[in-house]
Amino acid sequence: MGLRGHAGMILGACLALAALGTSCGGGSSSTPQVTQVTSVSVTLSSASVSFGSQPVGTTSDAQPATVTNTGTGTLSITGFSFTGANASDFAEADTCGASIASGANCTITVMFTPSAAGTRAATLDISDNASGSPQSVSLTGEGAHDVVLTWTASPTPEVTYIVFRGTSPGGEGPTPVSCIFISGTSCADANVTSGITYYYVVAAVPGNGAAQAQSTFSNESSATAP
């Protein structure tokens, strides 16, 4: 009687535990297992970047775009690429690395170097593990006809260079050219007409803002706009 009563108590305990979803006597548990669910999504600061007019063969200032991981998981970046008709006219540098943590971001900077005049366009593709990959940024710019001038530096320290242009030889010309400086002794004249020959001189103006009469002028050089 004592033995049978003891077994009955054990059976009752097993039944009670089984009712709570716990296995008894070596059976498997039916308790649901909870796992963490994460998502990966990405936001771009801009869907398009325009560089405006840029002299052919010269590189623009870098234009930034920010990539933000707005999901709860890690954003894995597998690469950047340019596609489109003028893909080779654009280049990028970035701080992104191989992954971006949830809530973090990185910066991409894009440069434009038109290889020909006219409208230039491409797309920057960002390949990653987010939905909708690759993420894309539309890029546009205008290649401008230009004449690139290079001169020898003045021996006088702290001078400012001013470029003068005319359409006939002789004389400095009445108005300076709005030249886009590539370096301290090189600039691009983008306000030109294809096929026209221009004549240039460069003035080295003292840094104290002295008048043109006190400037030193270079020899004259000519170039025909492409």
Q: What mean pLDDT is predicted for residues 126-149?
A: 93
0.75 exceeded by pTM: no
Q: What is the pLDDT of residue 36?
A: 56
Q: What mean pLDDT is predicted for residues 194-212?
A: 79
The CATH number of 147-224, from 3.40.50.2020, 1.20.1250.20, 2.60.40.290, 2.60.40.10, is 2.60.40.10
Q: What is the pLDDT of residue 172?
A: 57
Task: Please report, rounded to a whole number, the percentage of residues in the chain having pLDDT higher than 90.
Answer: 53
Q: What is the pLDDT of residue 26?
A: 54
CATH architecture of 42-144: Sandwich (2.60)
Q: What is the pLDDT of residue 135?
A: 94
Q: How far apart are CA 160 and CA 120, in angstroms?
A: 33
pLDDT at residue 158 above 50? yes
Whose CA is closest to 84, among 126, 132, 128, 139?
139
16-56 pLDDT per residue, tens: 444 444 455 555 556 666 555 568 889 999 999 999 999 88
